Amino acid sequence: MSRKKICRIGVLTSGGDAPGMNAAIRSVVRTAIYNNLEVAGVIRGYSGLINKQFMSMQSHSVSKIISQGGTILKSSRCPEFRDREMRKIAYENLREACIDALVVIGGDGSFRGANLLYKEHGYPVVGIPGTIDNDIYGTDFTIGFDTAINTAVSAVDKLRDTADSHNIIFFVEVMGRDSGFIALNTAIATGAEATLVPEVHTDIDKLCSYMELDRRKNKTSGIIIVAEGEDGGGAIEVAEKVKTRLPNYEMRVTTLGHIQRGGSPSCNDRVLASILGHEAVNALIQGRFGVMVGQMQNQTVYTPFDEACSRHNEINKNWHEISRILSL
Ligand code: ADP
Ligand code: F6P
């Protein structure tokens, strides 16, 4: 049976927003128009599919958004989409709106939903990796990661000033969900004294011995980068444990939080998003469905959703050791 010709595509952003998502939307819209396709923006990710929140997009709809953080289409976490019946409604709404194919910009959770839409209904979907966490298999970098680490680095540089002025040890919590990419890159770039990431077992006694060693070498302050979720909680829990062992140290905890998700995207994120948006539309035109489009070693790579969802981008654990060596 021949497949229906693609005349109109949809685009949505899902999961946690990431700087560069707007640049990806712009690229999808402009590449589609270049190829004589119509474009519908879906508002609030999978919620918009279920609630028929569609809007026609023209070239001017995406003017001047390349430098803006967030997503003009808005994003959401949509638990209902895990329900097969709701995905059927989403599919029917897409058909009713004459949307023949879909570009999903999001993280691995979003791709799990996209994969089910593709498999259950044979609906053409292509994914673009957009998350600050950089944890997605099939691309060297995800859209938003570069901006997020630059935001984190600039915040930690500022904390370093106060740490030095007041002889304080700062425990700085960064995001990343289950992945240590943001923590490790931020630590290396700020010369942090220690880094705690989920991929490497945390030994509080060893951390304390590092801190005592640093003090003996006349280091009067320090930065310890803690990935969220570390040691069952995060920086607060780690700092409390250290405090019981080193009660005389002055310590503070700072959680960088959602500032890491905001702001104008970096040059790298704008370029990556622009290329991936373009390649995602090309993939749909070429009939490559059920895949995520990524960039590896400057080449466009198509990874089946099954693989992109079941595997993870891994940190280089040697970098953890290197980070410590360089802060001696
Ligand atoms: P991210 O895409 O950034 O990883 P989430 O994990 O929150 O973010 O996933 C975004 C959305 O994708 C969810 O709110 C849900 O709508 C959809 N989703 C996630 N996992 C599944 C799943 N197993 N089945 C169907 N939909 C899912
Ligand atoms: O996936 C992006 C991310 O910012 C993670 O780093 C973090 O764990 C999570 O989203 C936070 O999500 P929320 O904003 O829903 O609390």
Q: Are residues 7 and 135 in the same domain?
A: yes
- C-alpha 70/C-alpha 62 separation (Å) is 13
pLDDT of residue 112: 98
pLDDT of residue 206: 94
Three-class DSSP labels, the chain: CCCCCCCEEEEEECCCCCCCHHHHHHHHHHHHHHCCCEEEEECCHHHHHHCCCEEEECHHHHCCCCCCCCCCCCCCCCHHHHCHHHHHHHHHHHHHCCCCEEEEEECHHHHHHHHHHHHHHCCCEEEEEECCCCCECCCCCCECHHHHHHHHHHHHHHHHHHHHHHCCEEEEEECCCCCCHHHHHHHHHHCCCEEECCCCCCCHHHHHHHHHHHHHCCCCCEEEEEECCHHHCCHHHHHHHHHHHCCCCCEEEEECHHHHHCCCCCHHHHHHHHHHHHHHHHHHHCCCCCEEEEEECCEEEEEEHHHHHHCECCCCCHHHHHHHHHCC
CB atoms within 10 A of CB 289: 19
Residue 325: inside a domain, yes or no? no
Q: What is the CATH classification number for the domain harbouring 291?
A: 3.40.50.450
- The finding on whether 144 has its CB within 6 A of some atom of ligand 1 is no
Q: What is the residue-level pLDDT of the chain in tens, covering all 328 positions?
A: 456 799 999 999 999 999 999 999 999 999 999 999 999 999 999 999 999 999 999 999 999 999 999 999 999 999 999 999 999 999 999 999 999 999 999 999 999 999 999 999 999 999 999 999 999 999 999 999 999 999 999 999 999 999 999 999 999 999 999 999 999 999 999 999 999 999 999 999 999 999 999 999 999 999 999 999 877 789 999 999 999 999 999 999 999 999 999 999 999 999 999 999 999 999 999 999 999 999 999 999 999 999 999 999 999 999 999 999 999 8
Give the tokens for residue 85: 């019946």
Q: Are residues 87 and 216 in the same domain?
A: no
Residue 115: inside a domain, yes or no? yes
In 3D space, the residue among 131, 99, 66 whose CA is nearest the CA of residue 275 turns out to be 66
Q: Are residues 13 and 130 in the same domain?
A: yes
Q: Are residues 234 and 166 in the same domain?
A: yes
pLDDT of residue 4: 77
- C-alpha 98/C-alpha 113 separation (Å) is 20
Q: Are residues 111 and 166 in the same domain?
A: no
Proximal ligand: closest to the CA of 133: 2
| Phi-psi sector, 254: left (phi>0), alpha (psi -120 to 50), beta | beta
Ligand 2 atom 12 nearest Cα: 16
308 with 136: CB under 8 angstroms? Answer: yes
pLDDT of residue 1: 44
- The finding on whether 77 has its CB within 6 A of some atom of ligand 1 is yes
Query: Strand 38-42 vs strand 54-57: parallel, antiparallel, or unpaired?
Result: antiparallel
Residue 156: inside a domain, yes or no? yes
pLDDT of residue 242: 96
Cα of 13 vs centre of ligand 2, distance in Å, is 14
Q: Are residues 17 and 136 in the same domain?
A: yes
pLDDT of residue 2: 54
pLDDT of residue 81: 98
Domain holding 173, by residue range, is 148-261
User: Letter for the amino acid at 115?
Assistant: N
Residue 211: inside a domain, yes or no? yes
Q: Are residues 273 and 227 in the same domain?
A: no
Catalytic residue check, 133: yes
- The finding on whether 126 has its CB within 6 A of some atom of ligand 1 is no
Ligand 1 atom 7 nearest Cα: 15
Residue 317: inside a domain, yes or no? no
- The finding on whether 261 has its CB within 6 A of some atom of ligand 2 is yes
Mutate to test the pocket of ligand 1, among 110, 118, 131, 143 (most ligand atoms within 8 A of CB): 110
Q: Are residues 164 and 138 in the same domain?
A: no
- C-alpha 33/C-alpha 8 separation (Å) is 10
Mutate to test the pocket of ligand 1, among 17, 49, 77, 142 (most ligand atoms within 8 A of CB): 77
Residue 100: inside a domain, yes or no? yes
Ligand 2 atom 14 nearest Cα: 16
In 3D space, the residue among 82, 84, 139 whose CA is nearest the CA of residue 112 turns out to be 82
Q: Are residues 101 and 221 in the same domain?
A: no
What is the number of structural domains in the chain?
2
Q: Are residues 212 and 118 in the same domain?
A: no
Q: Are residues 122 and 24 in the same domain?
A: yes
- Among 261, 277, 298, identify where a domain stops: 261
Residue 323: inside a domain, yes or no? no
pLDDT of residue 230: 78
Strand partners, 127: 104, 292
Mutate to test the pocket of ligand 2, among 132, 136, 260 (most ligand atoms within 8 A of CB): 132
pLDDT of residue 262: 98
Q: What is the CATH classification number for the domain harbouring 180?
A: 3.40.50.460
C-alpha separations of 55 from 2, 23, 117 in Å:
28, 18, 21
Q: Are residues 181 and 282 in the same domain?
A: no
Residue 10: inside a domain, yes or no? yes
Ligand 1 atom 12 nearest Cα: 110
Q: Choosing from 17, 100, 108, 133, which is the catalytic residue? A: 133
